[in-house]
């Protein structure tokens, strides 16, 4: 039975649902899938799964002076006349003369226009703009009044020309050359971001050294691979050189010499030019389009930072600008331009249900840029405190004194509020010093009413202490707070282990959930940690009783473990921070690498360092003995069977063979305790690639390996080491001899007993009767996966909910298996049901395995179904055949026909046609489905008589061998998983294009970005046909080797050719496509796994 948890069904981890704020980051993402599991509002389908130092606990240096009065003397106020507003930079102060002065009317009009422009900019008077039928460029930032145009004829308006006044057309023509479309792959989930592909916008701010400004959520806090495309479609690689820890901006670097065919431009940053009422243009990659130009008018300059939802990236401690420009996904990082082509802000996000767009002011960007140009680290300080701006009316309700309000209004007449404390993080520098609701009045005696002034002091005081004057409960207080380095609590490293990604908990996430900045954050649970439910947004507190406050202690705790051991892990989820959980984790490091990555801002890569994997125990595992629960007499006959029943947990490290889940569970039955053989259903052990753990007596857990997976019936045989059970009194299951031999089978009305395992792992017993017996119907799945065919099952009158179990008689002798069957309904949704199947179906396999032989069965590659005589008569069935059917004992009169061909390319599959009615096999009339479903290995060829097109035909049919392990090799490249085409794939196609089947792709990988679609086949690489996995592996390995050689030799052309692979694909609908995949051996190297029975898991990884 598969876990229903969505986390287990994809590469993305289970997440708590974030709050729907109605806001969205303006980044456009294309992700296949993992989908992301959480309901984020970011305009990205996948964007997809921290090292910093630990939080420094601030010493108690607070000098809370109860009742100390704030010293702001109104008599010392400055003259407001001295703070005259200067003309907006770039405007025309000495207005140029009008051309074509043909009359005094034009001269008077020109003077009035100039005067009104100045008044409108200063006083924001109501104006309107000239009609769009003017032949000259419309001066959209120069207002007109209606009365000024009265009496002016239309033909005179057409002659009106203004000189020296800017126009949007040349401004945009110049600016567009500096704006780029950014395509990026977040190759690993990290911090607030999910792995995946997305598009956004950026613009050149320094053409000489090659700097591009965009948003932080575009530059991304985690590892990315990004390219910028200029307006003439020249493409350059981008290196992330700076990501602000809090504010939504970051900087890329590129090589300007790579731009050969474009006159490279840069856009100046002018944050001081932003004014309410200013006309703007937002130019960028809106909604993924190459270029969009959106217009708007600045409406606000002091909006609090938008909230994009809990658990996501959120900016804070800054004002935002706002306008109704209707930006959408893909426009993140677009410059907000004035008419002179200067950037006054950076587009960041918008409202989903309104036209409102939000822009980041550029004041702190300008400061950071100065450090970046010098190659220095940008100093950033923090109090681990969030401030918000509240208006004076709200401040009065908080108790702000009239004297302070008067003083602040006089000193800052253009401001309408002050900063207040929104929240203070526990164990941060301000914890115990500041409280929510405190009103910030001054820092080091300097009055503060805005974020820029606050940052100017805090960012320059890292490692120092600052005195803050606050207003609290009608009194002023002075508190001293240490300023912490913000970069020290911003992760720049991560650990990969067990297929997951882990970084130190960031200030971003700690701020969102109001928890201390400490612990190891699960960015992507992967394989090993998903077993215990430590999904994304969990924080690991300890492993095997060793505390993990930071990343170093985390990977050291794992390094000290033993591969194959089971250890306790303590963790909590950020959404339920007070509910700690302890789960037992199986240490399985043999599927994935164990390494740590550090951010390298010079190369843009995250440099990996391998960490030694946990080694298997040197000593032999010690046997364990457990007591098996004795059931009461009321549960007869379950009490005699219970010592033979175990529970099984199965974990899948990769999504192969059509599986959508990573975890499965169900019961098993001991059939040979001396050899350690257990039988379970294929809904519990779905594919051969994975780890099996068996629990005996609900006490002892030991590993097992897959010995045989039945290709047709829903049965699997596992093998464990009996020595590990010590003296645990397990028993072999006892089968009823008549049902074991096939002489008898369960039929309508037969009494039977169901003994199963409930969802609480306790025994379930029910006395019931067989309600019906019929073929088990399953549907071809999408994606293709194994399904039960040609098998009869029984339904019961009373079917209690169980994980599975057995059917037996009153003496406890087994007559059948009670298995779980999974399939899909007509809408493609996963469904499952329970059914009983005959005990004798597994007998040939068990007998071979007991003799240490590899079972080989045969079949005719057909899926059969029943047909009634009423339907067979019109198809030409003779009266003799009808009589033959009617004379059968213990059987409903019916025949079997070919419903579909399981492998159209096999020798047997080529001989049959859909609709063929089967009559005889080797001269014997076909009475039951078991007569033709599975054949012994010595039946290399059989003689089949069938009815086709009204005529009986007899033909020799070569049978196809069936092996108990479908698939012995897996190849991983570019984040995609490739395997040989298995039976479930072959039955859905007439012709298999190749034996290289794409099973799955990973978020953030080149395969996902460049559209290598799952459920498709690779037929060519760089024009060379490939037929097998070996062909494919060799040609990709050669390309990677050539790329390494070209890079060492400095051969740019050869490197470019080797870094791209043209892959030709054919999908399940036989449609051909060609994609060009850029190799990424750093994050997504070529590797393979092969079947190896000498290992515990049955597989070995080769790099």
Q: Which of 786, 819, 850 is the last residue of a domain?
A: 850
Quick one: 241 and 347 in the same domain? yes
Would you say residue 38 lies in a domain? no
Would you say residue 532 lies in a domain? no
Would you say residue 537 lies in a domain? no
Quick one: 127 and 240 in the same domain? no
pLDDT greater than 70 at residue 1102: yes
Mean pLDDT, range 279-286, rounded to an integer: 88
Would you say residue 466 lies in a domain? yes
Strand pairing report for 520-524 and 716-720: unpaired
Q: Kindly indicate the confidence band of residue 6, based on its pLDDT and cuts at 50, 70 and 90.
A: very low
246 vs 33: CA distance, rounded Å: 29
- Catalytic site residue 248? yes
pLDDT attached to residue 28: 58
Phi, psi (deg, nearest 5) at residue 117 = -60, -45
- Catalytic site residue 797? no
Mean pLDDT, range 134-146, rounded to an integer: 38
Among 343, 291, 303, 349, residue whose Cα is nearest residue 325: 349
Residue among 217, 511, 592, 710 flagged as catalytic: 217
Q: Kindly indicate the confidence band of residue 354, based on its pLDDT and cuts at 50, 70 and 90.
A: confident
39 vs 20: CA distance, rounded Å: 8
Contact 1065, 1017 (CB under 8 A): yes
Residues contacting 154, CB < 8 A, separation 6+:
none
Contact 694, 678 (CB under 8 A): yes
The helix (run of H) or strand (run of E) holding residue 956 is strand 951-958
Q: Name the residue with tokens 């190891």.
A: 520
661/892: higher pLDDT: 661
Q: Over the stretch 549-600, which tens digit does the pLDDT of each residue have?
A: 999 999 999 999 998 899 999 999 999 989 999 999 999 988 999 999 999 9
Residue among 52, 331, 488, 999 flagged as catalytic: 331
Quick one: 711 and 796 in the same domain? yes
125 vs 130: CA distance, rounded Å: 16
Q: Name the residue with tokens 């909006």.
A: 303
pLDDT greater than 90 at residue 708: yes
Structure tokens at 73: 């003397």
Quick one: 903 and 1047 in the same domain? no
Q: Which of 123-127, 1063-1067, 1085-1089, 1091-1095 has the lowest mean pLDDT?
A: 123-127
Quick one: 757 and 639 in the same domain? yes
Mean pLDDT, range 962-991, rounded to an integer: 92
Residues contacting 680, CB < 8 A, separation 6+:
648, 666, 667, 668, 669, 715, 716, 718, 804
Residue among 248, 363, 459, 550 flagged as catalytic: 248
865 vs 776: CA distance, rounded Å: 9
Phi, psi (deg, nearest 5) at residue 900 = -155, 165
Structure tokens at 1022: 């760089």
Would you say residue 600 lies in a domain? no
Would you say residue 4 lies in a domain? no
Among 997, 1000, 1002, residue whose Cα is nearest residue 986: 997
Quick one: 362 and 389 in the same domain? no
Tell me, what CATH number does 906's domain have? Answer: 2.30.42.10
Q: Which of 120-124, 342-346, 828-832, 1060-1064 has the lowest mean pLDDT?
A: 120-124
pLDDT greater than 80 at residue 245: yes
Would you say residue 529 lies in a domain? no
Q: Over the stretch 476-485, which tens digit does the pLDDT of each residue have?
A: 999 999 999 9
Angle between helix axes 451-458 and 363-373 (nearest 10 degrees) is 30
14 vs 116: CA distance, rounded Å: 59
Q: What is the largest CA-CA distance in the chain?
A: 120
807/619: higher pLDDT: 807
352 vs 41: CA distance, rounded Å: 8
Please work out, in degrees rounded to the nearest 5, the angle formed at the alpha carbon of residue 226 by the alpha carbons of 223 and 230. Answer: 160
Tell me, what CATH number does 262's domain have? Answer: 2.40.10.120
Q: Kindly indicate the confidence band of residue 466, based on its pLDDT and cuts at 50, 70 and 90.
A: very high
Q: Which of 850, 879, 908 is the last residue of a domain?
A: 850
Q: Which of 101-105, 300-304, 727-731, 891-895 has the lowest mean pLDDT?
A: 101-105
Radius of gyration, CA atoms only, the chain: 36
Sequential DSSP letters for 980-1049: ---HHHHTT-SS-S-S-EEEEE-TTSHHHHTT--SSEEEEEETTEE--SHHHHHHHHHHHHHHHHHHHHH
Cis peptide bond N-terminal to 637, omega within 30: yes
Average pLDDT, the chain: 85
Quick one: 193 and 149 in the same domain? no
pLDDT attached to residue 92: 35
153/25: higher pLDDT: 25
The predicted model scores a pTM of 0.83
Contact 502, 495 (CB under 8 A): yes
Phi, psi (deg, nearest 5) at residue 724 = -75, -10
pLDDT greater than 60 at residue 241: yes
Q: Over the stretch 623-667, which tens digit does the pLDDT of each residue have?
A: 898 888 888 888 889 999 999 999 999 999 999 999 988 899 999
Q: How far from 652 is each of 583, 662, 688, 1088, CA to CA, in Å?
A: 19, 5, 9, 16
Mean pLDDT, range 376-402, rounded to an integer: 95
Q: Which of 317, 344, 373 is the last residue of a domain?
A: 373
Would you say residue 53 lies in a domain? no
Quick one: 362 and 428 in the same domain? no
Point out which residues pair with 563 in neighbouring strands. 616
Q: How many residues does the chain have?
A: 1103
Structure tokens at 997: 């089947």
Q: Tell me, letter by letter, the H, E, C secondary structure of 149-180.
A: HCCCCHHHHHHCCCCCCCCHHHHHHHHHHHEE
Q: Which of 577-586, 947-956, 1054-1063 has the lowest mean pLDDT?
A: 1054-1063
pLDDT greater than 90 at residue 43: no
- What is the domain extent for residue 872? 857-962
Structure tokens at 100: 């074509």
Q: Over the stretch 657-697, which tens digit does the pLDDT of each residue have?
A: 999 888 999 999 999 999 999 999 999 999 999 999 999 99
Phi, psi (deg, nearest 5) at residue 920 = -125, 155
Quick one: 679 and 825 in the same domain? yes
821 vs 362: CA distance, rounded Å: 60
Structure tokens at 1061: 């692979």
How many domains does the structure of the chain reveal?
A: 6
Quick one: 945 and 993 in the same domain? no
Quick one: 131 and 150 in the same domain? yes
975 vs 992: CA distance, rounded Å: 23
pLDDT attached to residue 828: 85
Contact 885, 863 (CB under 8 A): no
pLDDT greater than 50 at residue 398: yes
Quick one: 139 and 189 in the same domain? no
- Catalytic site residue 16? no
């Amino acid at each position: 039975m598969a876990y229903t948890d969505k986390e287990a069904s994809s590469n993305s981890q289970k997440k708590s649902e974030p709050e729907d704020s109605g806001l969205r980051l303006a980044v456009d993402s294309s992700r296949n899938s993992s989908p992301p599991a959480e309901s984020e509002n970011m305009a990205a389908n996948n964007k997809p799964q921290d090292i910093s130092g630990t939080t420094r606990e601030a010493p108690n240096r607070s000098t809370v002076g109860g009742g100390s009065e704030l010293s702001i003397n109104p008599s010392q106020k400055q003259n407001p006349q001295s703070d005259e507003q200067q003309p907006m930079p770039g405007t025309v102060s000495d207005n140029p003369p009008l051309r074509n002065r043909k009359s005094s009317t034009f001269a008077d009009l020109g003077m009035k226009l100039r005067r009104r422009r100045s008044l409108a900019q200063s006083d924001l008077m109501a104006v309107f703009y000239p009609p769009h039928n003017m032949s000259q460029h419309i001066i959209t930032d120069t207002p007109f009044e209606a009365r000024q145009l009265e009496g002016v004829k239309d033909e005179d308006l057409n002659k009106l020309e203004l000189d020296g006044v800017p126009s949007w057309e040349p401004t945009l023509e110049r600016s567009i050359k500096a704006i780029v479309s950014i395509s990026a792959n977040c190759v690993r989930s990290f911090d607030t971001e999910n792995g995946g592909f997305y598009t956004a916008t950026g613009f050149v701010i320094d053409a000489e050294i090659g700097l591009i400004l965009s948003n932080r959520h575009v530059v991304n806090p985690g590892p990315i691979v990004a390219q910028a495309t200029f307006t003439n479609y020249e493409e350059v690689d981008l290196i992330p050189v700076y990501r602000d820890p809090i504010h939504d901006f970051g900087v890329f670097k590129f090589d300007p010499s790579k731009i050969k065919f474009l006159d490279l431009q840069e856009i100046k940053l002018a944050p001081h030019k932003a004014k309410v009422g200013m006309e703007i243009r937002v130019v960028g990659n809106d909604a993924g389009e190459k270029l969009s130009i959106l217009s708007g008018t600045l409406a606000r300059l002091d909006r609090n930072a938008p909230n994009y939802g809990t658990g996501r990236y959120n900016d804070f401690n800054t004002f935002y600008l706002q306008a109704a420009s209707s930006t959408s996904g893909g426009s993140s990082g677009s410059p907000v331009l004035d008419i002179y082509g200067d950037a006054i802000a950076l587009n960041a996000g918008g409202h989903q249900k309104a036209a409102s767009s939000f822009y980041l002011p550029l004041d702190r960007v300008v400061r950071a840029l100065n450090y970046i140009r010098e190659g220095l680290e940008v100093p950033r300080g923090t109090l681990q405190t969030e401030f918000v701006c509240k208006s004076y009316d709200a401040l009065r309700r908080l108790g702000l004194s009239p004297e302070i309000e008067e003083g602040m209004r006089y000193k800052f007449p253009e401001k309408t509020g002050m900063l207040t404390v929104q929240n203070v993080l526990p164990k941060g520098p301000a914890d115990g010093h500041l409280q929510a609701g405190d009103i910030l009045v001054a820092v080091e005696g300097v009055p503060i009413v805005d974020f820029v002034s606050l940052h100017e002091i805090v960012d320059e005081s890292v490692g120092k202490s600052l005195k803050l004057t606050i207003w609290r409960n009608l009194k002023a207080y002075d508190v001293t707070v240490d300023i912490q380095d913000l970069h020290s609590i911003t992760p720049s490293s991560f650990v990969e282990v067990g297929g997951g990604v882990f970084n130190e908990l960031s200030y971003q996430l700690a701020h969102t959930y109001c928890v201390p900045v400490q612990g190891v954050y699960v960015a992507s649970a992967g394989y090993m940690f998903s077993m215990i439910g430590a999904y994304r947004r969990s924080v690991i507190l300890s492993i095997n009783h060793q505390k993990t406050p930071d990343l170093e202690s985390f990977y050291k705790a794992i390094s000290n473990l033993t591969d194959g051991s089971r250890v306790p892990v303590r963790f909590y989820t950020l959404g339920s921070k007070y509910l700690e959980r302890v789960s037992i984790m199986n240490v399985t490091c043999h599927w994935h690498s164990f390494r740590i990555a550090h951010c390298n801002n010079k190369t843009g890569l995250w440099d990996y360092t391998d960490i030694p994997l946990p080694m298997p125990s040197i000593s032999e595992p010690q046997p364990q003995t457990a007591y098996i629960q004795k059931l009461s007499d009321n549960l007869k006959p379950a009490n005699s069977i219970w010592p033979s029943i175990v529970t099984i947990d199965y974990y899948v490290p990769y999504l192969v063979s059509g599986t959508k889940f990573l975890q499965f569970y169900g019961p098993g039955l001991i059939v040979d305790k001396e050899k350690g053989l257990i039988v379970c259903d294929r809904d519990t052990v779905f594919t051969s690639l994975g780890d099996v753990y068996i629990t005996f007596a609900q006490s002892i857990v030991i590993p097992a390996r897959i010995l045989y997976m039945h290709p047709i019936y829903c049965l699997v045989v596992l093998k464990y080491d009996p020595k590990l059970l010590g003296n645990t009194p397990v028993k072999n299951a006892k089968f009823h001899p008549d049902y074991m031999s096939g002489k008898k089978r369960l039929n309508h009305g037969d009494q039977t007993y169901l003994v199963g395992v409930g969802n609480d792992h306790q025994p379930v017993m029910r006395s019931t009767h067989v309600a019906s017996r019929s073929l088990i119907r399953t549907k071809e799945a999408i994606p293709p996966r194994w399904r039960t065919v040609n098998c009869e099952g029984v339904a019961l009158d009373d079917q209690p909910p169980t994980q599975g179990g057995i059917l037996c008689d009153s003496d406890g002798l087994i007559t059948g298996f009670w298995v779980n069957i999974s399939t899909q309904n007509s809408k493609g949704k996963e469904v499952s049901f329970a059914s009983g199947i005959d005990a004798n179906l597994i007998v040939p396999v068990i007998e071979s395995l007991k003799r240490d032989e590899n079972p080989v069965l045969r079949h005719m590659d057909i899926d059969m179904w029943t047909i009634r005589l009423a339907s067979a008569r019109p198809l030409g069935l003779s009266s003799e055949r009808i009589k033959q059917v009617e004379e059968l004992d213990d059987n409903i009169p019916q025949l079997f026909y070919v419903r579909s061909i399981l492998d159209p390319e096999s020798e047997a599959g080529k001989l049959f046609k859909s609709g063929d009615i089967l009559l005889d096999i080797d001269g014997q009339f076909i009475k039951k489905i078991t007569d033709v479903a599975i054949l012994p290995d010595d039946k290399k060829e059989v003689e089949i008589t069938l009815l086709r097109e009204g005529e009986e035909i007899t033909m020799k049919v070569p049978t196809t061998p069936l092996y108990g392990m479908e698939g012995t090799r897996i190849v991983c490249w570019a984040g995609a998983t490739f395997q040989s085409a298995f039976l479930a794939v072959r039955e859905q196609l007439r012709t298999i294009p190749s034996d290289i089947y794409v099973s799955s792709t990973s978020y953030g990988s080149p395969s996902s970005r460049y559209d290598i679609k799952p459920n498709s086949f690779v037929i060519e690489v760089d024009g060379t046909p490939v037929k097998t996995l070996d062909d494919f592996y060799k040609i990709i390995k050669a390309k990677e080797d050539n790329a390494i050689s070209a890079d060492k030799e400095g051969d740019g052309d050869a490197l470019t050719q080797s870094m791209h692979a043209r892959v030709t694909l054919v999908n399940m609908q036989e449609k051909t496509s060609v994609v060009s995949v850029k190799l990424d051996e750093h994050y997504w190297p070529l590797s393979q796994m092969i079947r190896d029975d000498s290992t515990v898991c049955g597989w070995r990884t080769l790099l």
